[in-house]
A = this chain, B = another copy of it.
Amino acid sequence: MEMKNTLGNYLIEQLYNCGARHVFGVAGDYVLRFFDDLVHSKLNVICTCDEQGAGYAADAYARLNGLGVVCITYCVGGLKVVNPVAQAYAEKSPVVVISGAPGIKERKKNPMLHHKVRDFDTQKKIFDEVTVASTVLSDPGTAPREIDRVLNAAQRYKRPVYIELPRDMTSEQVTHQYEFREMQEKSDPVALQEAVTEAITMIHAAKKPVIIAGVELQRFGLQSELVKFIEKTNIPVTSLLLSKSVISERHPLYLGLYEGAIGHDFVREYVESSDCLVLLGALLTDINLGAFTAHLDQGRMIYVTSEKTAIRHHNYENIYLQDFMYELMRANIKRQELKGIQHQEVQPFSPVKGQKVTVQRLFQCLNSFLTDDTVVIADVGDALVGGSDLVVHRRTEFISPAYYLSLGFAVPASIGAQLASPSLRPLVLVGDGAFQMTGMELSTIVRYHLNPIVVVFNNYGYGIERPMMDGPFNDLQLWQYSRIPEIIGGGRGFIVKTEEQLSEALEAAEKYKDGFCILDVHLDKYDMSPALQRLTSLSAKRAR
């Protein structure tokens, strides 16, 4: 049926149809009318302190919800989200950037309108580098189809897209076929059959197959398929840092995180001695490969992602990850006999009286604190590296920028995560350096009545850099993090120096559900988790 609508409302409708329920952003004059449309729509508008925060929130929302939206004004807003959007590109998170812009009619004779950098298309050119599709909605006649094309690309590739909305187009009437066109691409059936047959033959011939489950299984909604497959075949599974919690870390077939020389020896030995490595949706990044200390023999490898399908040393074309997974599921694979799998034990934490908190003990304590209702959001630093040892209960409940490694993600990400999954309470792990970048988005958390528990790893600087090369550039001004609630009008703060204080603070935080809690955990300047010790000693060698 042909329908009429304003362009702004058509865009809103299609975002809703793609599953978005929230839009993160900061207003500005070129996008005011669209913000007005938004607040009168079915979508909820979440205004952050700075656009950077909105970008991170939209990324985290996209990871849990399947699509995230950030809406900002032209250049002064848009160029502040280049970094969060680049992160979403690198780590495959479908974030839709909607930027207001000068009206098409205003652009005649190329005037110097405020917020313009060089040309009117400067911002679009920049976003072309960090998105998979982009459009300027300059014509009401083509706008609906353009919107559909770009939103489809976000869903197809699980990567960011850019939509520029000139302010004089927002209220233009558009006519459109009211249907959402799903992507209908299919794999080459013959190539698919050949690849799956070869893969199954390899798995059958193997004595010790193992699955390395990558982040794309989460992004493409294939987590249930993974669980069904391993439960049917009894093949054990490991994950990488970026895909941590792609499967419940308490699943009996879960080996633990594979991180090359940085991770646990049991997992490393199990994986590296396997005669059939099935990598599904896994990104082979330096961090995922334990700073390239991983030893994965390509001659034993089945490697399937959304971008590449390879078995041993040959590649297949035109095979989609989803189709490969479905065919693998349907195949009749013999059940493996399993022995000797070790599971990481979570010990109950008993605080030692008067004992200063160490990073190692902090993680032991946090591990025992996790429940089925916790989503862990780790910022870059020991929060992430040490956090790899946490045992996450369910799935997609460990969120971090484990490849792109952009500091300042976690606090604003918790806004997006909790709005996407209101039944979960975020546990935010953040270093003091990362906190000083974006931590004041706690203000947004108060404003929208969210209640994460924020643990600040206060080690007086960029602890992760000290072992590589130390100097005053790794130091920070000391903040009284626990007193931030007094500034922003909500939340509760705790100073934690001893193990007892840690236990008490977490207990109090668990009980206090009306707002956020922030724990200022004082750690020794040079203390770090065992995993970080191994990583930095390797990185230091490389930096030299």
- Interface residue A414 (Cβ < 8 Å from any Cβ of B): no
Within the complex, which residue of B130, B405, B483, B488 is in contact with A486, where a contact is CB–CB below 8 Å?
B483
Please provide the chain A residues from 11 to 47 with a CB less than 8 Å away from any CB of chain B in the complex.
25-29, 32-33, 35-36, 38-39, 45, 47
A112 x B472 contact (CB < 8 A): no
- Interface residue A338 (Cβ < 8 Å from any Cβ of B): no
Binding-face segment, A258-266, A345-353, A423-431, A463-471: A463-471
A165: min CB distance to chain B, Å:
13
Residues of B within 8 A of A286 (CB): 111-114
Given A27-B462, A117-B130, A489-B480, A79-B86 contact (CB < 8 Å): yes
Within the complex, which residue of B27, B80, B403, B542 is in contact with A83, where a contact is CB–CB below 8 Å?
B80
Residues of B within 8 A of A533 (CB): none
B52 x A52 contact (CB < 8 A): yes
Q: Chain A: interface residue count, which band?
A: 35 or more
Cβ proximity bits A153-172 to B, threshold 8 Å, 1 near / 0 not: 00000000000000100000
- Interface residue A329 (Cβ < 8 Å from any Cβ of B): no
A434: min CB distance to chain B, Å:
10
- Interface residue A478 (Cβ < 8 Å from any Cβ of B): yes
Q: Give the docked Cα–Cα distance between A33 and B483 (Å).
A: 35
B75 x A33 contact (CB < 8 A): no
- Interface residue A187 (Cβ < 8 Å from any Cβ of B): no
Given A39-B471, A539-B29, A118-B112 contact (CB < 8 Å): no
- Interface residue A284 (Cβ < 8 Å from any Cβ of B): yes
Cβ proximity bits A283-296 to B, threshold 8 Å, 1 near / 0 not: 11111100010000
Residues of B within 8 A of A129 (CB): 117-118, 122, 125-126
A103: min CB distance to chain B, Å:
8
Within the complex, which residue of B75, B90, B406 is in contact with A86, where a contact is CB–CB below 8 Å?
B75
B76 x A477 contact (CB < 8 A): no
Within the complex, which residue of B26, B35, B472 is in contact with A45, where a contact is CB–CB below 8 Å?
B472
Q: Give the docked Cα–Cα distance between A173 and B462 (Å).
A: 30
A443 x B447 contact (CB < 8 A): no
Within the complex, which residue of B45, B405, B408 is in contact with A50, where a contact is CB–CB below 8 Å?
B408
Cβ proximity bits A265-305 to B, threshold 8 Å, 1 near / 0 not: 00000000000000000011111100010000000000000
B76 x A114 contact (CB < 8 A): no
Within the complex, which residue of B25, B32, B130, B483 is in contact with A487, where a contact is CB–CB below 8 Å?
B483
- Interface residue A89 (Cβ < 8 Å from any Cβ of B): yes
Please provide the chain A residues from 117 to 133 with a CB less than 8 Å away from any CB of chain B in the complex.
117-118, 122, 125-126, 129-130
Cβ-closest chain B residue relative to A441: B436
Cβ-closest chain B residue relative to A127: B126
Given A130-B118, A487-B484, A47-B437 contact (CB < 8 Å): no
Given A403-B114, A487-B480, A543-B33, A82-B473 contact (CB < 8 Å): no
A474 x B117 contact (CB < 8 A): no
B117 x A469 contact (CB < 8 A): no
Within the complex, which residue of B116, B287, B469 is in contact with A33, where a contact is CB–CB below 8 Å?
B469
- Interface residue A222 (Cβ < 8 Å from any Cβ of B): no
B436 x A472 contact (CB < 8 A): no
B114 x A472 contact (CB < 8 A): no
Please provide the chain A residues from 446 to 500 with a CB less than 8 Å away from any CB of chain B in the complex.
446-447, 462, 465, 468-469, 471-481, 483-484, 486-489
| Best-surrounded residue of A26, A437, A477 (most CB of chain B within 10 A) | A477
Q: Give the docked Cα–Cα distance between A288 and B118 (Å).
A: 17
Cβ-closest chain B residue relative to A35: B473
Cβ-closest chain B residue relative to A114: B405
Within the complex, which residue of B39, B83, B403, B468 is in contact with A79, where a contact is CB–CB below 8 Å?
B83
Q: Give the docked Cα–Cα distance between A469 and B480 (Å).
A: 38
Residues of B within 8 A of A130 (CB): 117-118, 122, 126
Query: Could you list some 17 contacts between A and B, CB below 8 A?
Result: A25-B473, A27-B465, A29-B539, A39-B471, A49-B476, A50-B408, A76-B87, A76-B404, A76-B406, A86-B117, A113-B285, A115-B405, A117-B129, A118-B129, A436-B443, A447-B477, A480-B487
**Residues in A lying within 8 Å of B, measured CB to CB:** 25-29, 32-33, 35-36, 38-39, 45, 47, 49-50, 52, 75-76, 79-80, 82-83, 86-87, 89-90, 106, 111-118, 122, 125-126, 129-130, 167, 283-288, 292, 403-408, 436-438, 440, 443-444, 446-447, 462, 465, 468-469, 471-481, 483-484, 486-489, 539, 542-543
